[in-house]
Structure 1
């Protein structure tokens, strides 16, 4: 019986391994991930440790899960694409019981032939070493007995938990078990964690002299509207509601006393986000290969739909053509839920229902992005479904184009991040007045309610510090105008929604539009929409 079981295991392993033939070879290299871990280590404080957990598996319905997507930070540092894993990075070399030194450990899913027959090959320990380049790797079940003395570090950095993971009960090395093991080993108590907002308010109270205390109390009062959880702190609410200086002085002393008596935890849920943002906002050459491909694939999707579009299409069909082009080019996923809004639907900024059965003669706003090997594009075009802009549509479209040109021109090294938005908004504000849609520029925000730019990379809204622009950042430039039905302007403008979004690489020699292959000018869009589409003859049978 044992021999038969061993033979079955070998067979299952061979089936799984053979199923992996023909996979892409242009993923990020193990050297890339290793260098990123070294860069992380260089930014860590002395005697600190960073702990990263893989993303949870998320349930779709009943016994069906969503397609798994790795946490971007975890992927950035490891290349590991499976769930139920932990990465531990030490600032300084550690020594194991055998005298061997190491500065990082990866805990992975254990190989399991029965499970792999259903869900695919797992890397296991050997794969983590041979394919991902880790010197030290263990099965996840060993994390509970890792022997890591977290109390011996000045800082234990991790991102606090969102409680969006399940306990599978059967698997003692699932994400739930790994997190519980960490909490035990690190003496985790959420009440002990620093609240950065509360700490900031406490610092304001401590630093304020009595002459300015009333003004500071007013500022804190406004903060309570944004952070209502602060109202639960009796010292803060007392300071805000105090009617005399002596009470505020007493409360100030109480803050000092509270902080002196509060035991300091070494658990740090703030620093890691800042460090990772500083790393990920600057793209390496290896990253740019993949990100550029994701953007170009997305631009090709926009080009093809411009040729294929007609008034009888549904929003879902338009979405499907984009995503079909993505798959043809090898994109694994969409970077975010696809937005296809015809007419008034385009005024919903993150409209994802895409349920309108015929786009008719409306403008169609299409905000979609391919994800290629983890990197996401974000490209938006707005086109007339019948191939020809009306005078009103063209007036609004050309204004957004002019604003985008101004925004792109502002994406230069050293400029403030907000200068891109300011440049675009200046054009739109003045243009809306000129068109008679608003009476004054201070009314324009209702029709341009969002920011103009964000970072782009492994996340469609990639982390960054939003400081000065630097070479090898990639950001979007996406001004828009949205005039919903019923707006306080001439009815001829109602239902017009325009957004133009491109992905811009910032260089020392000026901005590079990575998505420029998709036409942006109104006349260029109309010209491309006259061309024959490869999908013109793709007609499916009617279903009764």
Structure 2
């Protein structure tokens, strides 16, 4: 995306930050995998949202003092000998071109600059990305830095920036939507390749390879998440990722997957018969899930409360389960459906949301709609997931080019 997008993101973000504040965000770095091998690097999404930089070990510092905002980008030091092994890293002029931050320098200036900002002050707010999933999770760069700098400068008031940036990231710009549509379109091509090449006797990972190949040939460097390729009873495990079972004639296979494009994600689930033909029972379960999928999409528009939509959709699934004869009372639905109806989508697959998922749909949000019914005793698991953009009066299905009708699937596969 153009650097003006990141400039606008920073301007809108700093409007939410009170005076007498410093914001520091770290790009992050790839953790060690084993021996001398590292995991693939992916940037801290909040750092990327404000800079557009995808390379590791850089820092951005934003300040607001007496109403004046300043920006400074710190790039890792040049190591020409190391570049002979690992390749060229960003130069200061390249950092400016990508981020639009004019004051772009190297890392040896970082600590003197931070000291200069804080020295002599009575009280300063320091905003960092302090978000974490659980107490057992390893400390992020932001959390480690918070502990270190607070000991050096007791006058700092350390604050978490996540709530302020969440409000911005939930509403996608037209440029972000274009990136997501690219990821979604590639994902669709990959799913079509799966449907073309499915046959009994393959391993789940062998069929999955067709998706990977399609994405890679279209320039995808990373995926939204680990692909779920679940045939038969495996599809009744929500996040099954072993992907090593054999595809059997007469079974369904569920694929939950997504390409990533410039850090933005697609997320699609499709369930189809291995041999290209639904049995009557499979068709009944599939069409029950499809009716809920369509009804929820029809319901989404600005002003709808997420929690109310989730409760309503769960009730629809319960009604379908009663019709299928697998439950008698609606409260039994958790035996066959136990997740929410969807999630925000963007720079993260499960994108930022307020604590407790307490939000109302607004124009510009991108949300997944993914009802499912999972009948373990029948080895039938069906989920159908689409990505929708909330518009002024309803929503637009970004995955509309991915077929999902029984007739369409059977005709395409045969």
| TM-score between both structures, scaled by the size of structure 1 | 0.70
CA-to-partner distance for each residue in 1:467-516, whole Å, 9 max, x for gaps?
Answer: 1111111000000011224xxxxxxxx21100000000110132111112
> Which residue in 1 is equivalent to 2:309?
420
1: CA distance, partners of 2:93 / 2:145:
23
- The equivalences for 1:463-474 within 5 A come to 463-465=352-354, 466=357, 467-474=359-366
Q: Superposition RMSD on alpha carbons, in Å? A: 2.3
Distance change in 2, residues 1:181/1:437 (3 Å): closer
Indicate whether 1:446 and 2:410 are aligned. Answer: no
Structure 1 residue 267: deviation in Å? Answer: 1.1
> Which residue in 2 is equivalent to 1:397?
286
> Which residue in 1 is equivalent to 2:268?
379
2: CA distance, partners of 1:371 / 1:75:
14
Correspondence for 1:511 among 388, 395, 399: 395
CA-to-partner distance for each residue in 1:34-55, whole Å, 9 max, x for gaps?
Answer: 1101110001122222221122
DSSP 3-state at the match of 2:151: coil
> Which residue in 1 is equivalent to 2:223?
334
> Which residue in 2 is equivalent to 1:116?
83
Indicate if the aligned counterparts of 2:25 and 2:128 stay in contact, CA closer than 8 A. yes
2: CA distance, partners of 1:78 / 1:334:
21
- The equivalences for 1:479-490 within 5 A come to 479-485=371-377
> Which residue in 2 is equivalent to 1:251?
none
2: CA distance, partners of 1:438 / 1:479:
17
> Which residue in 1 is equivalent to 2:409?
525
> Which residue in 2 is equivalent to 1:160?
130
1: CA distance, partners of 2:324 / 2:257:
29
> Which residue in 1 is equivalent to 2:383?
499
Q: Larger C-alpha radius of gyration, 1 or 2?
A: 1
Structure 1 residue 180: deviation in Å? Answer: 6.4
Structure 1 residue 302: deviation in Å? Answer: 1.4
Indicate whether 1:352 and 2:274 are aligned. Answer: no
Correspondence for 2:159 among 249, 265, 268: 268
> Which residue in 1 is equivalent to 2:95?
128
CA-to-partner distance for each residue in 1:172-216, whole Å, 9 max, x for gaps?
Answer: xxx6xx986764444379xx9xxxxxxxxxxxxxxxxxxxxxxxx
Structure 1 unpaired stretches of 5+: 1-27, 95-100, 167-174, 193-263, 486-493, 531-544
Q: Which has the higher contact order (CA 8 A, sep 6+)?
A: 2
Structure 1 residue 312: deviation in Å? Answer: 2.1
More strand by share: 2
Structure 1 residue 390: deviation in Å? Answer: 1.1
Correspondence for 2:202 among 304, 313, 338: 313
CA-to-partner distance for each residue in 1:348-389, whole Å, 9 max, x for gaps?
Answer: 111111011334321100000000111011000000101111
DSSP 3-state at the match of 1:105: strand
2: CA distance, partners of 1:180 / 1:143:
16
Indicate whether 1:75 and 2:48 are aligned. Answer: yes
Structure 1 residue 319: deviation in Å? Answer: 1.2
Structure 1 residue 323: deviation in Å? Answer: 1.4
DSSP 3-state at the match of 1:148: helix
Structure 1 residue 298: deviation in Å? Answer: 0.8
CA-to-partner distance for each residue in 1:426-465, whole Å, 9 max, x for gaps?
Answer: 2211111122101111101221100011110110011033
Structure 2 unpaired stretches of 5+: none
> Which residue in 2 is equivalent to 1:31?
4
